[in-house]
Amino acid sequence: MRILSGIQPSGKLHIGNYFGAMRQHLQLQADNEGFYFIADYHALTSNPEPALLRRHCLDVAMDYIALGLDTQKTVFWRQSDVPEVTELAWILSCLTPMGLLQRCTSYKDKVSQGLSPNHGLFAYPVLQAADILIFDSNLVPVGADQKQHIEVTRDIAIRCNNAYGEIFVVPEEHILESVAVVPGIDGRKMSKSYDNTIEIFEPETSVKKKVMRVVTDSTPVEAPKDPAVCNVFAMLKLVASPEELGEWEQKYRQGGTGYGAVKKRVAELLMAYFRPYRQKRAELEQDLDFVHNVLADGARRARAVARVTLERARRAAGLGD
Ligand code: ADP
Ligand code: TRP
């Protein structure tokens, strides 16, 4: 089965990205043909500073490789190194009704937040459809926020197949709904845009400080507490064994345990979880040539597949000879 997913290079990756998406990507690569990429064309819709965009791509690449991306087996590349997707996006655009894109909530959300939208942001789902269709992807593991984009992709694929014959594989979505939203230190969803993240590889001292700052309610130490509404408990769930989680749950319910004690344990477990990968992450930082080579090799392998599908679409649409 060919599994494809993309992640935007909008900063250093955080534990919400890891537990919400990357962990599943890394698990799925063993029994499948993994195609994972860094979506820098998509990131361009928010007009990042050019040097920063380039740097963020490298950061994402190093994070994935350090955490166990199999660079031999899995195809891993930077989106803009396979420019064929933009040509396919154009072909798809011409069969995409305006109404389909006007209904997309991520675009409407950005506009309602007061962001002055550019055409790239509006056309974002078409480029995402091109990403998926150009690699004949069967399954696209994404968070619930991306569900609509996969539906749009399926819709576009079906329209193209109706217009031009069976040129595209219609992908299945694979919503990672079982994954709870990881809270940030302010209790909102952990997100780069809220500045409330704990980065996977930030220094341990800083991880600890941030966990100690996670927002909790003001229930006194002696009083019983409800684990279901506690941000610290939500983090504990990510890293504690089921037995240990059960013990903490009991402590919450019986009272007598302060949030400080739980936070300390969460910090310890989080640090221990990512410690085995820190060394590798630091080594990669010293060997950027290796990282560039992985991406170049990935782009070469991805391009070979993309060219075949693009040619199929061009012929079907009446482009070229
Ligand atoms: P951010 O909100 O920090 O910009 P992205 O939107 O780039 O993160 O998310 C990249 C991937 O990580 C998506 O698949 C998304 O579902 C997942 N993800 C991001 N934040 C969280 C979170 N707090 N909890 C669970 N998953 C998350
Ligand atoms: N839009 C996705 C996100 O913000 C990233 C993405 C771009 C993607 N192209 C994709 C995800 C193709 C899956 C498949 O998370």
Based on the residue annotation, tell me whether 110 is a catalytic residue of this protein.
Answer: yes
> What pairs with residue 100 in β-bridges?
none
Question: Which pLDDT value is given to residue 110?
Answer: 86
Residue 9 pLDDT greater than 80, yes or no: yes
Quote the ligand 2 centre to 222 CA distance (angstroms). 46
Domain ranges of the chain: 2-181+287-317, 192-282
Question: Which pLDDT value is given to residue 173?
Answer: 78
Closest ligand 1 atom to Cα of 184: 23
Closest ligand 2 atom to Cα of 7: 5
> For the sheet containing 2-7, what is the strand order?
75-78, 33-38, 2-7, 139-142, 172-175
8 lines ligand 1 (CB under 6 A): yes
- Kindly state the tokens that stand for 118: 């550019």
Which whole-number Å values give the CA distances from 63 to 18, 21, 60, 72, in the listed order?
A: 10, 13, 5, 16
Residue 298 pLDDT greater than 90, yes or no: yes
Q: Just give the CATH number of 2-181+287-317.
A: 3.40.50.620
Atom 6 of ligand 2 has which residue's CA nearest to it?
6
Question: Which pLDDT value is given to residue 229?
Answer: 94
Residue 7 pLDDT greater than 80, yes or no: yes
| pLDDT (mean) for 157-161 | 98
Question: Which pLDDT value is given to residue 300?
Answer: 98
Residue 308 pLDDT greater than 90, yes or no: yes
Question: Which pLDDT value is given to residue 142?
Answer: 87
Q: Just give the CATH number of 192-282.
A: 1.10.240.10
Best substitution site from 131, 174, 193 to test ligand 2's pocket, by max atoms within 8 Å of Cβ?
Answer: 131
Question: Which pLDDT value is given to residue 177?
Answer: 62
Q: Looking at residue 143, what DSSP letter applies?
A: -
DSSP for 161-220, please give it: HHHHSS-S--PEEEE-TTSPPPB-TTSSBP-GGGT---BTTS-HHHHHHHHHT-------
pLDDT, tens digit, 9 for 90 and up, residues 238-256:
999 999 999 999 999 999 9
pTM above 0.85, yes or no: yes
Contacts by 101-108, CB closer than 8 A, 24 or more apart = 101/125, 101/126, 101/152, 104/148, 104/149, 104/152, 105/148, 106/145, 106/148, 106/149
pLDDT, tens digit, 9 for 90 and up, residues 92-125:
999 999 999 999 998 998 889 888 889 999 999 9
74 lines ligand 2 (CB under 6 A): no
Quote the ligand 2 centre to 123 CA distance (angstroms). 13
231 lines ligand 1 (CB under 6 A): no
Asked if 2-181+287-317 and 192-282 have one fold, the answer is no
End-to-end Cα, the chain, rounded Å:
33
Question: Which pLDDT value is given to residue 127?
Answer: 98
pLDDT, tens digit, 9 for 90 and up, residues 47-77:
999 999 999 999 999 999 999 999 999 999 9
Question: Which pLDDT value is given to residue 164?
Answer: 98
